[in-house]
Chain A
Amino acid sequence: MMTSEFFESWFLPGIWITIQVTVYSAVLAAVVSFTVGTLRTSQFWIVRFLAGIYFEIFRGTSALVFMFWMAFAVPLLFGVQFLPMGAGVLALGLTYGAYGSEIVRGALAAVAPAQREAGIALNFTRMQRLRRIELPQAWPEMVPPFNNLLIELLKGTALVSVITVADMTFSGNLLRLATNASAPIYTLLLVLYFVLAFVLTRGMRVLERQAKAGIGQTPPSSGLFSGLRSKSTDTAVTGGVK
């Protein structure tokens, strides 16, 4: 059975690793999403083409295989050895960034063309229009799909366990080998992923409300968890950190 000593020395650090991998990959994915997504709206076809190639390659390859490739093929091919976590974060961030770039591109395309024209009429440069007009208006459209993607990413971090990163899933597998208690361990893992995903969703809901308020839309009334939201977010995160 699960000993409390094992839980504390393996499982809790595993949760922390999962959170770390999620955060690092999400930051990388966000940078990739915005960079590739805006480049795909470039006025220069060659830029759109190259960004499109990036998108197609990473959408079309398996994150898991790419992770193996980063961890085991790159050292042989280029003589560079990533830390396992680094390889995992790169693979996840670059892959989910490709999906995210589609969200950014789509939301930018959905900004009314008249806004672009108003920006031109006021003599803004292309970069200024993007930064001050188009991206801020596209942002509220991006938050819900980004929320989905973030949850996908969180669950995708379980992949890093196969390249020896000691995340939640890795610890669970290890514990199962030691105790053979498959049912409680995998049930616990399911619950833990759900709790983390729920916390992320709540956080993104706050972000969505702020984003909508930022373009003068009245946010929808917050419903069931409005009073609990910030509180549950805080306790859950710090609970994981300890």
Chain B
Amino acid sequence: MSTDQNPSVPGSKDGTELIRFDRVTKRFGSNTVLDNLDFTVAPGKHVTLIGPSGSGKTTILRLLMTLIRPDEGTIRVDGDCLTHEDKGGVLHPAGEKHIREVRKKIGMVFQQFNLFPNMKVLRNITEAPVHVLGMSKDEAEERARELLELVGLTEHIDKYPTQLSGGQQQRVAIARALAMRPQVLLLDEVTSALDPELVAGVLDVLRDIAHSTDITMLCVTHEMNFARDISDDVLMFDQGKVIESGSPEKIFNDPENERTREFLSAIL
């Protein structure tokens, strides 16, 4: 194993960065969604990505979740490269086995929840811990019950997703992602598909998690109050690049970039 692939080697995991994008470019056809993007996220930080739609925020989460691959550049999570693996000193495009190894560290909550409609709530949460992590069924169920308590849905444990409201489904989806004990939680506009009165419940759960755990969060949202509450850093995107970054106080109260100002005045 080469030094920069091995997470136990100092330097690759020195505690300063958990996620690293190196000159990442992603195109869809002739449309360049991400353009030579560089950014890093330190462990335990909660980072919010904001910007106009089409600016590439969701693409970043989808790249990290390995749902799509970058056209150029490398992405590292906890020192491990998502895009390439080292075979005898030569970098090859990452194979399925390698990707699955790195993917263990990442969890994602989707805009449309994407619960499995063929499984009841409990099994939605335990299925992956049992069959992917090899956890015992009892242990997985106990953990699922704890998580359901955390998201306030204990009484719905035996229902199918279609029997729940959107907000309840999204809270189950959060529990399902947390059940895999990821180091990084990706939140992709998790309240955008919800009726307005259900948004608060989901955001409360996420605030709780943000404040009570050391999980790293990468969050795409249009809920600026929520972003202000939980974020350590806010990254403002436009046309595939980070055009401004800083603490939420700075970005929201005193943005320097003209486009950031325009964007915020349009949505606040």
A→B interface (CB under 8 Å): 112, 114-115, 117-118, 120-126, 128, 132-133, 136-137, 214-217
Tell me the minimal C-beta distance from B257 to chain A in angstroms: 32
User: Is A121 in contact with B67, judged by CB distance below 8 angstroms?
Assistant: yes
Say whether, besides A132-B127, A214-B118, A216-B117, A122 and B160 are in contact (CB < 8 Å): no
User: Is B112 in contact with A114, judged by CB distance below 8 angstroms?
Assistant: yes
Closest to B120 in A: A216
User: Is B180 in contact with A123, judged by CB distance below 8 angstroms?
Assistant: yes
CB contacts (< 8 Å) of A122 on chain B: these are 107, 127-128, 132, 176-177, 180
Tell me the minimal C-beta distance from B82 to chain A in angstroms: 13
* Most chain B Cβ neighbours within 10 Å, of A123, A124, A137, A215: A123
Secondary structure call for the A interface: helix
CB contacts (< 8 Å) of B128 on chain A: these are 122-124
CB contacts (< 8 Å) of A118 on chain B: these are 110, 114-116
Interface size class of B (residues with CB under 8 A): 20 to 34
A64 to B35, alpha carbons, bound, how many Å?
Answer: 61
Does chain A have a CB within 8 A of B104?
yes
A123 to B66, alpha carbons, bound, how many Å?
Answer: 10
User: Is B180 in contact with A133, judged by CB distance below 8 angstroms?
Assistant: no
Given A122-B177, A124-B132, A132-B127, 14 more A-B residue pairs with CB atoms under 8 Å apart are A114-B114, A120-B103, A121-B110, A122-B127, A123-B103, A128-B132, A137-B118, A215-B118, A216-B117, A216-B118, A216-B120, A216-B159, A216-B161, A216-B163
A112 to B159, alpha carbons, bound, how many Å?
Answer: 21
Closest to B106 in A: A121
Closest to B163 in A: A216
Closest to B114 in A: A118
Does chain A have a CB within 8 A of B218?
no
Among candidates A117, A123, A214, A216, residue contacting B100 with C-beta atoms closer than 8 Å: A123
Tell me the minimal C-beta distance from B94 to chain A in angstroms: 14
Tell me the minimal C-beta distance from A217 to chain B in angstroms: 7
Interface residues of B in 82-118 (CB under 8 A from A): 96, 100, 103-104, 106-108, 110, 112, 114-118
CB contacts (< 8 Å) of A124 on chain B: these are 128, 131-132
User: Is A217 in contact with B116, judged by CB distance below 8 angstroms?
Assistant: no
User: Is A217 in contact with B131, judged by CB distance below 8 angstroms?
Assistant: no
User: Is B66 in contact with A120, judged by CB distance below 8 angstroms?
Assistant: yes
User: Is A128 in contact with B131, judged by CB distance below 8 angstroms?
Assistant: yes
User: Is A121 in contact with B116, judged by CB distance below 8 angstroms?
Assistant: no
Interface residues of B in 162-213 (CB under 8 A from A): 162-163, 176-177, 180
User: Is B110 in contact with A114, judged by CB distance below 8 angstroms?
Assistant: yes
Say whether, besides A122-B128, A122-B180, A128-B132, A215 and B117 are in contact (CB < 8 Å): yes
CB contacts (< 8 Å) of B115 on chain A: these are 118
B53-89 toward A: CB 8 Å interface, digit per residue (1/0)? 0000000000001110000000000000000000000
CB contacts (< 8 Å) of B132 on chain A: these are 122-124, 128
CB contacts (< 8 Å) of B160 on chain A: these are 215-216
A117 to B127, alpha carbons, bound, how many Å?
Answer: 15
User: Is B131 in contact with A132, judged by CB distance below 8 angstroms?
Assistant: yes
Closest to B129 in A: A122
A168 to B119, alpha carbons, bound, how many Å?
Answer: 43
Closest to B177 in A: A121
Query: What would be 23 A-B contacts, judged by CB atoms less than 8 Å apart?
Result: A112-B114, A114-B110, A114-B112, A114-B114, A117-B114, A120-B65, A120-B103, A121-B67, A121-B177, A122-B127, A122-B128, A123-B104, A124-B131, A125-B96, A125-B100, A126-B96, A132-B131, A133-B118, A137-B117, A215-B160, A216-B118, A216-B160, A216-B162
CB contacts (< 8 Å) of A137 on chain B: these are 116-118
Among candidates A117, A128, A132, A214, residue contacting B67 with C-beta atoms closer than 8 Å: A117
A120 to B176, alpha carbons, bound, how many Å?
Answer: 13
Tell me the minimal C-beta distance from A235 to chain B in angstroms: 33
Closest to A217 in B: B162
A126 to B97, alpha carbons, bound, how many Å?
Answer: 11
A137 to B114, alpha carbons, bound, how many Å?
Answer: 13
CB contacts (< 8 Å) of A132 on chain B: these are 116, 127, 131
